[in-house]
């Protein structure tokens, strides 16, 4: 298992830096099953705060069920205790944004053990509830079931594992982009490729990621004439950068495009980045 200090060094996948504070909890999610459903935005908004916009994927609102085995959860500086730290869990979630940052919003969380449910709810403030849960495997068929007596919620699933995926699909790379902070060549080339942004005499723009980072705004595909452009970059206190940009939508066109732009900044003491659309 990787040391926590090594895990915290691996931040190339993050769209902004780590919080400027020490970590609070360690936990492992193992044997996780992710299930996703499209829902009507108007229906979903009945269960979410009105001041937090829904984070859409491909123009749709989504609700997910995630069923997994929670293992080795513990607070900082304390060991895990198997009869408390290891339990089955299911959460029902959707996806919202705050200050243009996407995040998970838990609609309901169920845990297998009474004591684990009590402690998790007290320490995290999340809506944990006790449920009867079983999971196992027979003849390569996995099953996961849960019954919440309090709300009469029942979940039953049976599934088989498919072929192991070793490479990201186009959906993983492109379909889930919006506002990004890119900190290395690998991520930049994965999204744009070197030919997308050209420098002088047709040569690829040179970006030194040891000293620089890229802010990218990528809009969903559209068949309307759409332009998106940076307005200003502001540096505030405590190393916070705010990128303000503007989108202009024109007439319908006969083809689709994915409007985008990038801004290259010196990577000096930048701890937080905010994207703001006018």
Q: Going residue by residue through the chain (278 aa), what tens digit of pLDDT does each one get?
A: 568 888 887 766 666 667 788 888 899 999 999 999 999 999 999 999 999 988 887 678 899 999 999 999 999 889 999 999 999 999 999 999 887 678 899 999 999 999 999 999 988 889 999 999 999 998 889 999 999 999 999 999 999 888 887 776 655 554 555 677 788 887 787 777 655 455 566 666 678 888 888 888 888 777 788 888 999 988 877 777 888 888 888 888 888 888 888 888 887 766 677 778 77
**CATH number belonging to domain 23-159:** 2.40.400.10
Global confidence as pTM? 0.64
Q: How far apart are CA 89 and CA 38, in angstroms?
A: 22
Cβ(139)–Cβ(151) below 8 Å: no
Cβ(184)–Cβ(209) below 8 Å: yes
Q: How far apart are CA 22 and CA 122, in angstroms?
A: 20
Q: Residue 98 has what pLDDT?
A: 83
Q: Which of 211, 207, 185 is nearest to 269 (CA)?
A: 211
Q: Residue 194 has what pLDDT?
A: 58
Domains of the chain, by residue range, sit at 23-159, 170-277
Q: How far apart are CA 26 and CA 23, in angstroms?
A: 8
Q: How far apart are CA 31 and CA 78, in angstroms?
A: 25
Q: Residue 7 has what pLDDT?
A: 82
Q: Long-range contacts for 169-177 (Cβ within 8 Å, ≥24 apart)?
A: 174/258, 175/57, 175/58, 176/57, 177/216, 177/218
Q: Residue 181 has what pLDDT?
A: 79
- Token representation of residue 272: 């937080």
- Token representation of residue 97: 């944004």
């Amino acid at each position: 298992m990787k040391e926590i200090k090594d895990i915290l060094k691996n931040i190339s996948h993050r769209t902004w830096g780590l919080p400027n504070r020490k970590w609070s909890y360690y936990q492992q999610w193992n044997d996780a099953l992710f299930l996703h459903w499209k829902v009507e935005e108007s229906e979903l908004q009945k269960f979410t705060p009105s001041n937090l916009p829904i984070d859409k994927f491909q123009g749709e609102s989504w609700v997910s069920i995630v069923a997994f085995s929670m293992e080795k959860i513990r607070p900082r500086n304390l060991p895990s205790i198997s009869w408390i730290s290891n339990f089955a869990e299911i959460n029902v979630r959707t996806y919202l944004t705050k200050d243009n940052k996407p995040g998970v919003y838990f609609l309901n969380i169920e845990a297998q053990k009474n004591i684990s449910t009590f402690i998790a709810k007290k320490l995290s403030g999340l809506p944990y509830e006790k449920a009867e849960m079983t999971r196992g495997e027979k003849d390569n068929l996995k099953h996961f079931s849960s019954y919440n007596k309090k709300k009469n919620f029942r979940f039953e699933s049976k599934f088989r594992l498919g072929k192991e995926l070793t490479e990201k699909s186009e959906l993983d790379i492109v379909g889930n982009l919006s506002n990004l902070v890119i900190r290395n060549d690998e991520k930049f080339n994965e999204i744009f490729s070197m030919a997308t942004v050209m420098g002088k005499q047709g040569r690829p723009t040179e970006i030194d990621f040891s000293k620089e980072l890229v802010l990218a705004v990528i809009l969903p595909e559209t068949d309307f004439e759409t332009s998106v452009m940076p307005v200003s970059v502001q540096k505030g206190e405590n190393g916070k950068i705010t990128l303000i940009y503007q989108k202009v939508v024109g007439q319908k066109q006969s083809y689709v495009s994915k409007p985008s732009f990038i801004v290259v900044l010196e990577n000096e003491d930048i701890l937080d980045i905010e994207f703001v659309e006018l």
